[in-house]
Amino acid sequence: MARIGRYWFICIAVVFHLIYIYSIFSIYFVSPIVHGMREHHVDAKEPPAQRLVLFVGDGLRADKAFQSFPDPSPADEASEDAKRPRPLAPFLRSRVLSHGTFGVSHTRVPTESRPGHVALIAGLYEDVSAVMTGWKLNPVNFDSVFNRSRHTWSWGSPDILPMFEQGAVPGRVDTEMYDAEFEDFSKDAFHLDTWVFDRVKKLFEEAKVNATLDAELRKDKNVFFLHLLGLDTTGHGYRPYSKQYLHNIKVVDQGVQEITELIDDYYGDGKTAFVFTADHGMSDWGSHGDGHPDNTRTPLVVWGSGVAPPVINSTGLAKGHEDGFSSDWGFDNIHRHDVSQADVASLMAYLVGLDFPTNSVGELPLPYLAADQKSKAEALLANAKEILEMYHVKEDMKKSTELYYKPFSGLGDETHSVEFRIAQIQALIDEDKADEAIQQSHELIHLGLQGLRYLQTYDWLFLRTLVTAGYVGWIVFAITTVIDLHVLHQESETLRTMSSMIVFSSILVGLYSVLIIQQSPLIYYAYAFFPVMFWEEIWARRSALMQGCKVLLRDVKSQADVVKLVLSVLGCIGLLEALVQSYFHREIFTICYLLAISWPAFYGKDFIEKNVLLVLTWATSCMAMSVFTLLPANKVEDLSLILIGGGLMFAVGLAFLFFEKSILADAEWSQDDLASPTVDDISRVVLGTQVGLILLAMIATHSSVGHIKARTGLPAGTQAVGWATLVGSLVVPSLHHLQPNRHYLHRLMVIFLMFAPSFIILTISYEGLFYLAFCLCLFSWMRLEHHVYTYTGPQDWKQSTVTRNTHTPKLASATDRVSSTKNSNYRALTLADARIAVFFLFFLQSAFFSTGNIASVSSFSLEAVSRLIPVFDPFSQGALLILKIMVPFAIMSANFGILNRRLGVAPSALFMVVMAIGDVMTLNFFYMVKDEGSWLDIGTTISHFFIASLLGLFVAGLELVSEVFIGGVELDGCRESQKQDGVAQNGTGKRGVANGRARQSNH
pLDDT of residue 908: 77
Per-residue pLDDT reduced to its tens digit, 258-282 = 999 999 999 999 999 999 999 999 9
- DSSP lists the bridge partners of residue 547 as none
The 10 Å Cβ neighbour count of residue 867 is: 26
Q: Starting from the edge strand earliest in sequence, which strands make up the sheet with 272-277, in order?
A: 173-177, 151-156, 222-228, 51-57, 272-277, 297-304, 100-106, 339-340
What pLDDT, on a 0 to 100 scale, did the predictor assign at position 429?
Answer: 94
DSSP character at residue 985: T
Measured CA distances, 670 to 661, 667, 1001 (Å): 10, 8, 12
**Element (DSSP H or E) covering residue 275:** strand 272-277
How many Å apart are CA 215 and CA 222, to the nearest integer? Answer: 12
Can you tell me whether residue 152 is helix, strand or coil? strand
Residue 765, pLDDT score? 84
**By the 8 A CB rule, do 721 and 700 touch?**
yes
pLDDT confidence of residue 361:
93
Residue 104, beta-bridge partner list: 299
What lies within 8 Å, CB to CB, of 502 at 6+ separation is none
- Give residue 310's pLDDT: 96
Q: Report the alpha-carbon distance of residue 330 to residue 88 in Å, rounded.
A: 13
Name the DSSP class of 706.
H
Q: Quick one: which of 670, 746, 604 has its CA closest to 1002? A: 670
Spatial CA neighbour of 943 closest among 929, 924, 923? 929
8 Å CB contact between 471 and 20: yes
Pairing outcome for strands 297-304 and 272-277: antiparallel
Cα–Cα distance between 430 and 423 in angstroms, integer? 11
Per residue in 840-860, is it b (16+ CB within 10 Å) or e — as a string? bbbbbbbbbbbbbbbbbbbbb
Cβ within 8 Å of residue 532, ≥6 positions away: 504, 507, 508, 511
Distance CA 978, CA 825 (A): 13
Q: How far is CA 677 from CA 411, 690, 986, in A?
A: 85, 20, 21
Report the 10 Å Cβ neighbour count for 569. 12
What is the maximum alpha-carbon separation in the chain? 104
pLDDT, position 360: 92
Dihedral-angle region of residue 624 (phi above 0 means left; psi in -120 to 50 means alpha; beta otherwise) = alpha
Give the Cβ contact number of residue 246 at 10 Å.
20
CB 973 within 8 A of CB 143: no
Cα 874 to its chain centre, rounded Å, is: 14
Peptide bond between residue 733 and the one before it cis (omega within 30 degrees of 0):
no
Q: What is the pLDDT of residue 617?
A: 94
Whole-model pTM: value is 0.68
Burial class (CB within 10 angstroms; exposed 0-12, middle 13-18, buried 19+) of 557: exposed
| Beta pairing, strands 272-277 & 68-69 | unpaired
CA angle 629, 603, 814 (to 5 degrees): 120
Are the beta carbons of 593 and 620 closer than 8 angstroms? no
Residue 339 phi/psi, 5° resolution? -135, 165
Q: Which residues of the chain register pLDDT less than 50?
A: 129, 131-136, 138-139, 668-679, 795-823, 854-859, 934, 973-1003
Is there a contact between 101 and 263 (Cβ–Cβ < 8 Å)? no
